[in-house]
A and B are shown apart, each in its own frame.
Chain A
C-alpha cells in the first residue's frame, strides 16, 4: 500500500463487510422464520434479500433480520419492512423473485410494491 487513495479504497470496501455490526440501519427487512415460514420457503427469500442488499451496496442502510411467527401462517413467507417515521409494510407469500422487485421499487425507490402486500392479497 503506497498511497492514501489505496487505503481509502480498502476502507470503503471493508466498511460494507463490518457495517452489519454498526447496529440497525435506517430500514429493516424482517423475514418471518418460524417453522411455518421455513416450511413455506422463507430461507431462500431471506437469502435473496441478503444477496440483493449486499450487491446493491446497501448494507450500511438496510438491515436484514429474522423474526418468529406473527400468526398469519397461511400467508407465509411473510416479510415486513420497517422504516423510521413510516408505517410498517407487510408483504406476504413472498418468493425470491418478488424479493428482487421489493428491493428495486421499495427499498431503493421508496415505493412499496402494493400488489404483494397483505391488504391486496387478502382481497
Chain B
C-alpha cells in the first residue's frame, strides 16, 4: 500500500538539470530497500522554481527538496522515506522566513509561492501529466461534461464574456468576443486552433502548461469547439518542445480512449477531435494568420486582416485561435463561474497571468500572479530581488514586441492597459530583469537582431525597415553614432509601427522606442561622449590598471587570454590596449580593485 508520494519535476528545466536520471536512481534505491511497494514516484510538470532544480517534493509531509543530485538519493531514502527524518541540508529554505528549529515552512508559505495564485498552473507540479486519471481526480473533464449536458453554446460564450478573460498570448483580445464572432459566422466547417508556438526569448509558460497539464488545454479546446460549432482542432506546437509534444500525444490518445475526444462525447451529438502540427521555429508563426498559413502546409507568412480568422481562417473556414494559457484558464471558469474569475485582477484585466522570470533575478522560474500585482512585488518579493547586491534598472516584458519598464515605474500594477500606457506590453509573459550592468542600447539592439532574423520578408517596412534600424543601433553601439541617427531611429520606428503588415513588424520597434523614452541619456552618452555607461559595448570600453592600487600579484596577467597584460611580480602591471579584447576577466580576478573599466 502506498504511504508516500515522491513528486519529481519532469518539466524541461528540471529535465535538463537531471531529473530523469534522478527518478531512475530513486526507483532502484527504493527497490533495493524494499520500499517500492510503499513509496510511489510521480513525474510532474513544472513547479515554477526552475532556478533550484531538480526539484523533489515528498508527501504526505510536503517536504520540498531542491538541487537534488543522484548522490543524495540514498540519504533521502534511508533517512526520510524509511525513518521519517527530513534531510535538512537539501530542504529549500527561504531565508526570509524564520523557521522554528526542526520544523519547515510549507511550500505555500514561502515568499516565492505566497503571493502567487495558481489557476492556469494549478495542476502543474501536482499531477502526473501522463495519467489522465490524475487529471480527472482534479475535476478534469467535469467542465466539458457540464457544458455539453447543461449549457447551450450561447450560454458558454456569455459565460466567457462575463468572466472578462482576455487572450494570454499578448494582444489581450477578449476571448468571449472572439468566440462570439466565430459562432456567428455561418459555415458547415469550423476550427479551433491552439497557438502553442511560443517564440519570445525567455518565455516558457505555455511549454510548462503543456508539459504539466496537457488535458486542461484539450478539454478547453473541446469546450471552445462546442461553443462555436467546430468539430476539429489543431494544436500548433513548436518542434523544439519535445517533452510537451510527447505529453500532448499521450494525452490526446488517452482522451480518445476514454471517449473524451471523438464522436458523441458524453452521449451527446457533439463530436470533436484534435490533431498536432509542429512548427519549425519561425517566430512569425506565432502570429495568428501566419500560423494558420503554416498549418495549411504553406510557408508561414502572415496575411492581411480583415478578414479575421473568426470569419475566414484555417482552410478559409471560421476559426478561433487561442493561446495555451488562455485555454488552461477555461475549464476553471466553467466550473467555478464567471464571478469567481472576475473577482481576481483589475477592472479591465481579470484573472491571473503567468510570467517567466529571467535575467538578473534570484528565483528564475515561473510564477502566476493575480493581474494588478506590482512589478515590485514580482521582482523583490516573489523573485527574491536582484542578486549580488546590484540595483534594479528595468524589466523587459513582451519580448521583442514589448518594452522596458524602468525603476521609476516599478510600482505600476501590471495589467494589459497599464503596460501599454507605459510603453511596454504584456506579451506572452516573459519578464526579463535587468540591473545596472545592462546597457539599454545594447538590449534594444539584441531584440532588433532577433526581429531582423525572424522577419518573414513579406512586407517592406519590416523586412527593410528593421534592418535599417539595426544598422543605426550598431553604429551607435560602435561609437560612430550622431544625434541625427537617434532622430532617424525614432522616425523609422514610428513608420514601421504604422505600416507593417502583421504584429511582428508593428511591434518590432517597441524595444527601441521604450528605451529611447526612458533611457535616452544612455543613447546620448554613446553618441556624444562615446561612452557606454554600463560598460557593455566593447568599442566604447577600455580597461586600465591604477598603478597605486596594483600590488603586482600577477593574477590578472595569468588570467588574460590574449597576453595583453604585462608587468613584473610586485610591480604595477599595465594593459596593452591594442591587444586587449575587453573580455573583463582581469577585473574579476583582481583582489585589490586596481582595474577600472571606463
Contacts and interface: CB of A to CB of B under 8 A. Distances in A.
Contact of B127 (A11, A18, A47, A51): A18
B421 interface: no
B38 A50 contact: yes
A47 B38 contact: yes
Interface stretch (A61-69, A91-99, A100-108, A114-122): A61-69
Contact of B62 (A7, A15, A23): A23
Given A21-B126, A51-B1, A14 B38 contact: no
A20 B2 contact: yes
A16 B61 CA distance: 16
Interface in A14-36: 14-15, 17-18, 20-21, 23-25, 30-31, 33-35
Contacts of B149: 4
Given A20-B4, A50-B1, A7 B60 contact: no
Contacts of B82: 33, 38
A2 B3 CA distance: 33
Which of B62, B127, B134: most chain A CB closer than 10 A?
Answer: B62
Contact of A18 (B83, B84, B85, B138): B138
A79 interface: no
Given A18-B138, A65-B61, A50 B7 contact: no
Interface stretch (B227-235, B259-267, B359-367, B479-487): B259-267
Given A10-B133, A33-B82, A47-B1, A21 B142 contact: no
Contacts of B126: 18, 21
A46 interface: yes
Contacts, number: 95
A46 B136 CA distance: 29
Nearest to A25: B60
A54 interface: yes
B60 A1 contact: no
Contacts of B83: 33-35, 37-38, 66, 68
Given A66-B84, A67-B84, A3 B7 contact: no
B215 to A, nearest CB: 13
Contacts of B59: 20-21
B260 A46 contact: no
Given A2-B266, A4-B149, A63-B60, A20 B258 contact: no
Interface residues of A, number: 35
Contacts of B60: 20, 23-25, 63-65
Given A2-B267, A23-B62, A47-B38, A18 B134 contact: yes
B235 to A, nearest CB: 22
B32 interface: no
B463 to A, nearest CB: 51
Interface in A38-97: 38, 46-47, 50-51, 54, 63-68
A28 B4 CA distance: 14
Given A2-B266, A14-B136, A68-B83, A47 B142 contact: no
A11 B3 contact: no
Nearest to B135: A14
B141 interface: yes
Given A2-B266, A17-B2, 6 more contacts: A11-B136, A18-B127, A20-B59, A30-B84, A34-B85, A47-B3
Interface of B: 1-5, 7, 38, 59-62, 82-85, 106, 126-127, 133-134, 136-142, 145-146, 149, 258-260, 264, 266-267
Query: Considering the complex of A and B, which 7 residue pairs feature the smallest CB-CB distances, nearest first?
Result: A66-B84, A14-B137, A50-B3, A63-B60, A33-B84, A4-B145, A33-B83
17 contacts: A2-B259, A3-B266, A7-B145, A14-B136, A15-B137, A17-B2, A18-B126, A18-B127, A20-B59, A21-B7, A21-B59, A23-B60, A24-B61, A35-B83, A47-B38, A64-B3, A66-B84
Interface of A: 1-4, 7-8, 10-11, 14-15, 17-18, 20-21, 23-25, 30-31, 33-35, 37-38, 46-47, 50-51, 54, 63-68
